[in-house]
Structure 1
Amino acid sequence: MFQFLDGIPIYQQIAGELKRRLICGQLVPGAKLPSVREIAEEFKVNPNTVQRVYMELEKEGLTYTERGVGTFLREDSFMVDRLKQEEAVKLRARFITEAKKLGLGLDEVIRDIKQEWIGGEKND
C-alpha cells in the first residue's frame, strides 16, 4: 500500500507515483491510464483528488484526455528521458539540501554513497 508523506499534497504524491511508474516502465507512452475511480480505489482517496492528478499531468503535457474514452499517456519518445532527468534533478536537490542541513561534508557523502551503492548491489 502506498504511504503518503506529511507536508506534500496528496495529489502531487499520486502524480509523482504515476510518473515513477512511467519512468520504470510499468506505464508506457500511449497507454491508457486507469480510470479515476480505479486510481482512487488503489490509493484510497477521493475521486476528485485523482481528477486533479489527471488535470496536472495534462497541464504538464504528459497526458491527454479523450472525452468518454479516458486519459492516455502521450506518445512522446523523449518524454520518459525528460521525466527521468527532471526527477533526478529534484532528488539530487533534496538530498544535497538535507545533507548540508546535517552538516555532512562532500567527501563524507561521496564515500557513503559509494559504500551504499556497492553494498546495495550485493543485496539485490
Structure 2
Amino acid sequence: MIEFAPDIPRWRQVAEVIRQRIKNGTYAPRTRVPSVIQLMEEFGIATQTAHKVHRALRAEGLIYTEPGMGSYVSKDLNFE
C-alpha cells in the first residue's frame, strides 16, 4: 500500500500510480490492468474509489474495458 497524501483525493493518487506503471512499461499495451477488486486489495481503497480510478484512466485514453473480460492498456500510447 502507499501512504496517501491527505490533501489529494485517493482515487487521484492511485490513478497516478497506475498511470506511472503504464508509462514505465510495468503494464504493457494490450495487457490487463488491476481490476477494481485488485485495486481495493492492493491500495486498501473502497469500491467506488477503485471505480473512479478506472473511469479516470479510461477518460484519458490510457485503458479500455472489455465487458466481462477486464480492463487493458490502450495499444497506441504516446507519452512525449
Structure 1 residue 58 displacement after superposition: 0.5
Amino acid at match of 1:40: M
Shift of 1:3: 1.0
Aligned counterparts of 2:45 and 2:59: Cα–Cα separation in 1: 21
AA aligned opposite 1:53: V
Is this contact kept in 1: 2:62–2:77, CA < 8 A? Answer: no
SS in 2 for 1:5: coil
Larger proportion of helix: 1
Deviation sequence 1:74-104 (CA, Å, 0-9, x none): 00142xx24xxxxxxxxxxxxxxxxxxxxxx
Gaps of 5+ in 2: none
Alpha-carbon distance in structure 2 between the residues aligned to 1:65 and 1:77: 16
Q: Give the paired residue count.
A: 80
**Distance of 2:77 and 2:34 partners within structure 1:** 21
- Of structures 1 and 2, the one with the larger relative CO (CA 8 A, separation 6+) is 2
Match of 2:7 in 1: 7
Structure 1 unaligned residues grouped into runs of 5+:
83-124
TM-score by length of structure 2 reads 0.91
CA distance in 1, matches of 2:51, 2:69: 15
Which position in structure 1 is the counterpart of 2:37? 37
Larger radius of gyration: 1
The offset of 1:42, in angstroms, is 0.3
| Residue equivalent to 1:48 | 48
Using the aligned pairs only, state the percent identity.
34
Partner SS state of residue 64, structure 1 = strand
User: What does residue range 1-124 of structure 1 map to in structure 2 within 5 Å?
Assistant: 1-78=1-78, 81-82=79-80
The alpha-carbon deviation at position 29 of structure 1 amounts to 1.4
